[in-house]
Amino acid sequence: MSKRMTLGLGAVLAVVAATAGAARAQELGGTVNTLEPAVALVMPFDVTAGRQSFQLVSRVGGSDAGTLATHWSFWSESCDHLADVFICLTLRDTVVVDPTAVQGQIQVGQGNENTGPKIDLTGEKGFVTVTAFDADPRSQTCEPSDPETPSATPSLVGSWVVSNTQTHATFGNVAIGIVDGQTLPAGADFFPTGPVAAGMFLQTYSPLDLTDSEVFFIGVAFPAGNAQFAESEIGPIPSALVNGSAVCCNAQYYDNTESFVSLPDVCLTCSMSAKVSDNEPLADIDLPVIIPRSVIADTSGFVRLSNCRVGSDEGDVPIGDTTINGVDLATFVFGYHGMAVGPYGTSTMGKYTAE
């Protein structure tokens, strides 16, 4: 499952950042960590034409020497459940996963052994969740002892990379860490209705300088896992809006003179990848567009998402007329922007302000 790789500077920095510590960081409502260990991780992957991707997970937290069963669940942008495997992690253990060769793994003696069939997700993109459970000592494939109860100790850190196989530019970042594996931030605090300053802010260099751009939006919900993990894991937001999407958000682009312009709504089913702009030299990239060509985007700045709506689960509320935190199902939207100039790649993570 793991393989020898040569990665660019951006990927190396992402790996270093993933293992960096912080003094009791309290990020995003106290339920999300990107610097400290968590029980569950969320990160994108893309192995469509011209892309290669890897996910890196380490067990660094806690002092329990018992084995963890990490459950890897891959979801497509269209909400299809693609694959799930169990990978054993002992204390201070690390694994690299290639989405084109997904396989379970156990540790035997001083070595790692792959288990089960090899799953090739070539042609797919979306997101993966990694959740820690206490391993069943009787299982030969490292299944959880109790799939309804994630591990009580935050111990996982992770990072991801996506590479352009034509230009060899690589961008990556740390994984989103859900501290207890289940509790998402209060969406209504960060995506309220009305003309307020809150929202998600995703930075960009000037689109005119970029030769590659891939924005990843990931919409997650709890409980929303697959099969036996339906009530214990995070997963995709159900697509319940009238237009078939799971989430729709208002969008604006702010340039480096504080001027802003409204953009078409950003709508996604489970997750979405898009390019930040349709201006040259990004016009030939075959992805949906956030900033259309009719909008002048020639400076650095950021894209802001606000007023996100999801399908209602309340009988007296029209479908689609509900804020992201107006339903019984907890929901939230995360974002990354991977970008490159020639062979030099980097990425930014969505930042938030509350109302």
What is 255-282 written as a DSSP string? -TTS-EEEEEEEEEBSEEEEEEE-STTS
β-bridge partners, 68: 89, 134
Read off the pLDDT of residues 235-274 as tens digits, 9 standing for 90 and up: 998 877 777 888 999 999 999 998 999 999 999 998 999 9
Asked if pLDDT for residue 20 goes beyond 60, the answer is no
DSSP 238-251: P--STTS-SEEEEE
The share of the chain scoring above pLDDT 90, in percent, equals 70
Query: Residue type at 6?
Result: T
Res. 301: pLDDT tops 60: yes
Query: What is the spatial distance between Cα 187 and Cα 143, in angstroms, rounded to a whole number?
Result: 32
Mean pLDDT of 93-103: 97
Condensed to tens digits (0 to 9), the pLDDT of residues 23-38 reads 344 689 899 999 999 9
Give me the percent of the chain exceeding a pLDDT of 70. 88
Residue 290 burial (CB < 10 Å; 0-12/13-18/19+)? buried
Picking from 301, 226, 225, 234, the residue whose alpha carbon sits closest to that of residue 263 is: 301
The pairing of strands 301-310 and 247-254 is: antiparallel
Q: What is the pLDDT of residues 111-150, one digit of tens each?
A: 889 999 999 999 999 999 999 999 998 888 899 999 999 9
CA distance 224 to 247: 15
C-beta of residue 134 within 8 angstroms of C-beta of residue 117 = no
Task: Give the list of residues 6+ apart from residue 16 with CB closer than 8 angstroms, or none.
Answer: none
Q: What is the pLDDT of residue 18?
A: 39
Average pLDDT over residues 66-78: 95
Q: Taking residues 3-20, what's their average pLDDT?
A: 42
Task: Give residue-wise pLDDT tens across range 316-341.
Answer: 555 555 667 656 688 999 999 999 99
**Nearest C-alpha neighbor of 133 from the set 211, 228, 205, 208:** 228
Pairing mode, strands 289-291 and 271-277: parallel
Q: Is the pLDDT of residue 15 over 70?
A: no
Query: What pLDDT does 31 receive?
Result: 95
Least Cα distance to 143 among 227, 230, 69 occurs for: 69
Q: What's the pLDDT score for residue 19?
A: 40
- SS3 state at 350: coil
- 285/151 Cα distance (integer angstroms): 41
Pair 237, 331: CB distance under 8 Å: yes
Rounded CA separation 49/136 (Å)? 38
- d(Cα 212, Cα 277) in Å, to the nearest integer? 10
User: Which one, of 160, 278, 290, lies nearest residue 210 by Cα?
Assistant: 278
Q: Which of 173, 198, 326 lies closest to 252, judged by CA?
A: 198
Higher per-residue pLDDT: 269 or 56: 56
Which of the four pLDDT bands, split at 50, 70 and 90, describes residue 193? confident
pLDDT of residue 244: 81
**How many residues does this entry show for the chain?**
355
